[in-house]
Amino acid sequence: MDYLSDERKKSDFDVEAMKVAWAGSIQEFQLSDRMAKLVANDPVFEKFTRPMLGRKELLKNTLRKSAHAWKLIIDLRLSEEEAKWLRLYVDEPAYTDLHWGMFIPAIEGQGTEEQKKKWLPLAKKMQIIGCYAQTELGHGSNVQGLETTATFDTRTDEFIMHSPTLTSSKWWPGGLGKLSTHAVVYARLIVGGQFHGVHGFIVQLRSLEDHSPLPGITVGDIGLKFGNGAYNTMDNGVLRFDHVRIPRNQMLMRVSQVTKEGKIMQSDVPRQLIYGTMVYVRQTIVADASKALSRAVCIATRYSAVRRQFGSRDGGPETQVIDYKTQQSRLFPLLASAYAFRFVSEWLKSLYLDVKQRLEANEFSTLPEAHACTAGLKSLTTTATADGIEECRKLCGGHGYLVSSGLPELFAVYIPACTYEGDNVVLMLQVARFLVKTVSELGHKKPVGTTAYMGRVASLMQKNSAVQTAEGWLNPGAVVEAFESRAARMAVRCAQELAKFGNPEEGFAELAVDLVEVAVSHCQLIVVTKFFEKLQQDIPGKGVKESLEVLCYVYALFLLHKHQGDFLATGYLTPKQASLANAQLRTLYSKVRPNAIALVDSFSYTDHYLGSILGRYDGNVYPKLYEAAWEDPLNDSDVIDGFHQYVQPILKQRLHSAKL
Ligand SMILES: CCCCCCCCCCCCC/C=C/C(=O)SCCNC(=O)CCNC(=O)[C@H](O)C(C)(C)COP(=O)(O)OP(=O)(O)OC[C@H]1O[C@@H](n2cnc3c(N)ncnc32)[C@H](O)[C@@H]1OP(=O)(O)O
Ligand SMILES: Cc1cc2nc3c(=O)[nH]c(=O)nc-3n(C[C@H](O)[C@H](O)[C@H](O)COP(=O)(O)OP(=O)(O)OC[C@H]3O[C@@H](n4cnc5c(N)ncnc54)[C@H](O)[C@@H]3O)c2cc1C
């Protein structure tokens, strides 16, 4: 029985066409759908018991699933794209993520042709397992502060890898603790007693025969992390070197080379390319944000349509909680954000692919913008997604707190995204640096790409919003101009404040809070703009474009409402115009309401992937919650283990004293 069928009938757009719009293309939809079903129908990928498992059992279970996934990849000859979807739907962080997601990309981006030829075939056949060992106990954000040393020994033509202090211990790398045989290790290059910057080195950690750590290497897991199950399927590790020798040709040498004689040769490649793997991964993290948020929103939306509280008249049904305006005002902006992040990630991927091609051809001019966009959008989308998942849990009331809602584990596994691949505040400060530089160069350099609007800064500073009615806000030009003006005015104001400091670095440190706000406003502008640009494309299917238009306005006007202080303080909007935007937002919520279930169905998530009783496709929540309670190990027996030993004596004592 489909308890949500009435809801599904209310929608006024073609859900199948929306699935294609969400996926990006019919090919991508079919590919993703095939992998989702493959995983959902395979009992090896069962995951409901995961939060109940102890750490060793949990990790072993992950290894079993990873081995099975690898077998499927080989046996079914899955393409790289199919393997990525398979990994997504298996939905369990594993050592293989870092192997494919960072170790291989680091070699691809920073290795010479010779190095790629040697290492990539081994890695791609999984004859070696690698991880990305950058962060240390003492330093994560400050990469130039890393302490591990790689000292060149001209006599033997080797680097000596060493951990000189406790704080130089590598700490956090995923896959490092128990599984990696190799790592790309970031260390201070020392040649002839001089420091020559931080570079990557390929280091073998464990024997390929018996997997034991090689001499001079101390390696292990860093211990249990937040939440049951969640990221504990990953062996984040600690690593120390005691004068471990590696051949010279294991330094990744695309950026700088060390000759046999100990000479440093710089290629034309900028040194920032050493950070290139992070640009790649940050871009994938933006795509993952839309997946995680859409998943939480799908659960909360379906459950909000099932759940009823208050409002019964004449014995009729109570009100569905999704009909409360407060529920809509918390839920629908998150639904809109999931779509907004999906489309901005699509754009970011194309920007990244373009930069990658240019880098391969030794053309580096667009790297700073790619860095700013990937850093800023990673920060913006992961912060919003982490907060959004928690909001979805609250939107589900008490039942959202049950593990079987799927939300606690999703939250626990997701929140480190705000920290890994760059702390979100540190990344926004990088965007701020880029913007301040752009403003300072306005007189002699035309801003391009996502900062092109800064070229119109004079008019953006003068012109105020012309919106007179709530309907006036349903105009892409009016909305985009509002976001451009806010971002430009905040950036210019900050630049003026900075100019008052004799020492720019001192000014940057003092104004850091304002600078982060400038960076956030710039990144929100990018997301809003890319959503409107998406709507310019041909999007087939009855009512699909219209529904996306509504979501686009919800996303933009919700942000405008949330940050109205900025829009008012910069003088672009009057209080009346801000309140008209809010009135329009209320109207938009009622347009989303009949389509809400269909909009989350369009994510096309299987019940397996959602992993949530509250978010079941059929809405059959209560019987399944009731059934699941009886499957809890505590309910194996009527009287629990420990009762006779610890509780009964107390009860008996009470009876005894009552008699007295
Ligand atoms: C099929 C499988 C698929 C699987 C897919 C799954 C993928 C995996 C999922 C995710 C798993 C997560 C695992 C997590 C991994 C990690 O966390 S790895 C470690 C990540 N660490 C960080 O992100 C550290 C953050 N710190 C930094 O990025 C930088 O050090 C810093 C903050 C930017 C440094 O600041 P500063 O000291 O000022 O920098 P400098 O070294 O002096 O350089 C400044 C100049 O360099 C430019 N720049 C900085 N970063 C980059 C970059 N990434 N790319 C390009 N350019 C960069 C910066 O703009 C400065 O430029 P100029 O102004 O021109 O000088
Ligand atoms: C689950 C998980 C997986 C990870 N996987 C890997 C991996 O595979 N490989 C790897 O190398 N690393 C990995 N890391 C490490 C991760 O990249 C770092 O933790 C991250 O870059 C943040 O650095 P940090 O821990 O040094 O934070 P810190 O920099 O110590 O941050 C602490 C606080 O200081 C603030 N702060 C720091 N610097 C500044 C500044 N300049 N201005 C203002 N505020 C500042 C931050 O905002 C934050 O609030 C992982 C981390 C986690 C949690």
In tens, the pLDDT along 517-569 reads 999 999 999 999 999 999 999 999 999 999 999 999 999 999 999 999 999 99
428 and 516 Cβ atoms separated by less than 8 Å: yes
Pick the residue whose CA is nearest to atom 17 on ligand 2.
Answer: 420
- Identify residue 174 by its one-letter amino acid code: G
Ligand 1 mean position, distance from CA 489 (Å) = 28
Q: List Cα–Cα distances, 435 to 282, 383, 429, 438, in angstroms.
A: 19, 20, 10, 5
pLDDT in the model for residue 360: 84
Q: Is 143 in the pocket of ligand 1 (CB under 6 A)?
A: yes
Q: Which of 228, 137, 136 lies closest to 185 in space, CA to CA?
A: 136
Q: Is 426 in the pocket of ligand 2 (CB under 6 A)?
A: yes
Three-state SS at 442: coil
- Give the mean model confidence (pLDDT) for residues 147-155: 98
Report the Cα 572 to chain-centroid distance in Å: 33
> Within the chain, how many helices (H) and strands (E) appear?
24, 11
ipTM over 0.95: yes
Domain of 476: which CATH number? 1.20.140.10
- Give the mean model confidence (pLDDT) for residues 385-396: 98
Q: Which of 621, 651, 638 lies closest to 302 in space, CA to CA?
A: 621
- pTM assigned to the model: 0.97
Query: Which ligand sits nearest to residue 285's alpha carbon?
Result: 1
- Rounded to whole angstroms, the Cα distance separating 409 from 292 reads 11
Ligand 2 mean position, distance from CA 427 (Å) = 10
User: Is residue 657's pLDDT more than 90?
Assistant: no
| Predicted confidence band of residue 177 (pLDDT cuts 50, 70, 90) | very high
**Assigned token pair, 59:** 């990790």
CB 27: neighbour CB atoms within 10 A? 11
Pick the residue whose CA is nearest to atom 44 on ligand 1.
Answer: 272
Residue appearing with tokens 């998406």: 534
Q: Estimate the crossing angle of helix 15-23 against helix 544-562, to 10 degrees.
A: 60
User: Which residue range(s) make up the domain with 220?
Assistant: 129-267
| Predicted confidence band of residue 464 (pLDDT cuts 50, 70, 90) | very high
Q: Is residue 115 part of a domain?
A: no
Out of 44-58, 327-341, 602-616, least confident range: 44-58
Q: Is 279 in the pocket of ligand 1 (CB under 6 A)?
A: yes
- Identify residue 614 by its one-letter amino acid code: L
Ligand 1 mean position, distance from CA 136 (Å) = 15
Ligand 2 atom closest to residue 139's alpha carbon, by position in its atom list: 26
Question: What sign does the CA torsion over 464, 467, 470, 473 have?
Answer: negative
336 and 551 Cβ atoms separated by less than 8 Å: yes
Q: Is residue 133 part of a domain?
A: yes
User: Is residue 274's pLDDT more than 60?
Assistant: yes
Among 241, 267, 293, the domain boundary falls at 267
Query: Is 135 annotated as ligand-binding?
Result: yes
pLDDT in the model for residue 463: 92
Q: Count how many residues are written for the chain.
A: 660
285 and 101 Cβ atoms separated by less than 8 Å: no
Among 267, 283, 309, the domain boundary falls at 267
Q: List Cα–Cα distances, 132 to 80, 105, 397, in angstroms.
A: 20, 10, 40
Domain of 201: which CATH number? 2.40.110.10
Among 267, 295, 311, the domain boundary falls at 267
pLDDT tens-digit map of 279-309: 999 999 999 999 999 999 999 999 999 999 9
Residue appearing with tokens 């290497």: 217
pLDDT in the model for residue 641: 96
pLDDT in the model for residue 314: 85
Ligand 2 mean position, distance from CA 142 (Å) = 9
Share of the chain above pLDDT 90, in %: 95
Pick the residue whose CA is nearest to atom 62 on ligand 1.
Answer: 368
Q: Is residue 301 part of a domain?
A: no
Query: Is 438 annotated as ligand-binding?
Result: no
Ligand 2 mean position, distance from CA 425 (Å) = 10
- Rounded to whole angstroms, the Cα distance separating 51 from 547 reads 37
Q: What are phi and psi of 171, to 5 degrees?
A: -150, 120
- Rounded to whole angstroms, the Cα distance separating 183 from 168 reads 16
Query: Which ligand sits nearest to residue 413's alpha carbon?
Result: 2
pLDDT tens-digit map of 178-204: 999 999 999 999 999 999 999 999 999
**Assigned token pair, 463:** 């012109």
**Assigned token pair, 268:** 């034309």
Ligand 1 atom closest to residue 174's alpha carbon, by position in its atom list: 13
pLDDT in the model for residue 596: 98
Ligand 1 mean position, distance from CA 142 (Å) = 9
pLDDT tens-digit map of 437-448: 999 999 999 999
pLDDT tens-digit map of 490-517: 999 999 999 999 999 999 999 999 999 9
pLDDT in the model for residue 655: 60
Q: Is 272 in the pocket of ligand 1 (CB under 6 A)?
A: yes
pLDDT in the model for residue 210: 98
Pick the residue whose CA is nearest to atom 43 on ligand 2.
Answer: 426
Query: Which ligand sits nearest to residue 281's alpha carbon?
Result: 1
Q: What are phi and psi of 324, to 5 degrees?
A: -75, 135
pLDDT tens-digit map of 321-336: 999 999 999 999 999 9
Q: Is residue 554 part of a domain?
A: yes
pLDDT in the model for residue 182: 98
Q: Rounded to a whole number, what is the distance in angstroms from the first to the last CA of the chain? A: 59
**Assigned token pair, 31:** 């590919």
Out of 104-108, 245-249, 313-317, 334-338, least confident range: 313-317
Ligand 2 atom closest to residue 424's alpha carbon, by position in its atom list: 47
Q: Is 177 in the pocket of ligand 2 (CB under 6 A)?
A: no
Q: Is 231 in the pocket of ligand 2 (CB under 6 A)?
A: yes
| Predicted confidence band of residue 49 (pLDDT cuts 50, 70, 90) | confident
Mutate to test the pocket of ligand 1, among 371, 413, 414, 437 (most ligand atoms within 8 A of CB): 371
Three-state SS at 319: coil
Pick the residue whose CA is nearest to atom 39 on ligand 2.
Answer: 426
pLDDT in the model for residue 508: 97
User: Is residue 660's pLDDT more than 60?
Assistant: no
pLDDT in the model for residue 146: 98
Name, in order, each residue with C-beta under 8 angstroms of 77's C-beta and a sequence gap of 6 or more.
Answer: none
Mutate to test the pocket of ligand 2, among 171, 219, 382, 419 (most ligand atoms within 8 A of CB): 419
- Rounded to whole angstroms, the Cα distance separating 286 from 374 reads 8
Average pLDDT of the residues of the chain: 96
pLDDT tens-digit map of 612-651: 999 999 999 999 999 999 999 999 999 999 999 999 999 9
Q: Is residue 630 part of a domain?
A: no
Ligand 2 mean position, distance from CA 225 (Å) = 15
Q: Is 140 in the pocket of ligand 2 (CB under 6 A)?
A: yes
Q: Is residue 5 part of a domain?
A: no
- Rounded to whole angstroms, the Cα distance separating 244 from 623 reads 60
pLDDT tens-digit map of 346-367: 999 999 999 999 988 889 889 9
Question: What sign does the CA torsion over 337, 338, 342, 348 have?
Answer: positive
Give the chain's domain count: 2
Q: Is 172 in the pocket of ligand 2 (CB under 6 A)?
A: yes
Three-state SS at 141: coil
| Predicted confidence band of residue 654 (pLDDT cuts 50, 70, 90) | low
Q: Is 135 in the pocket of ligand 1 (CB under 6 A)?
A: yes
**Which residues are marked as active site?**
421
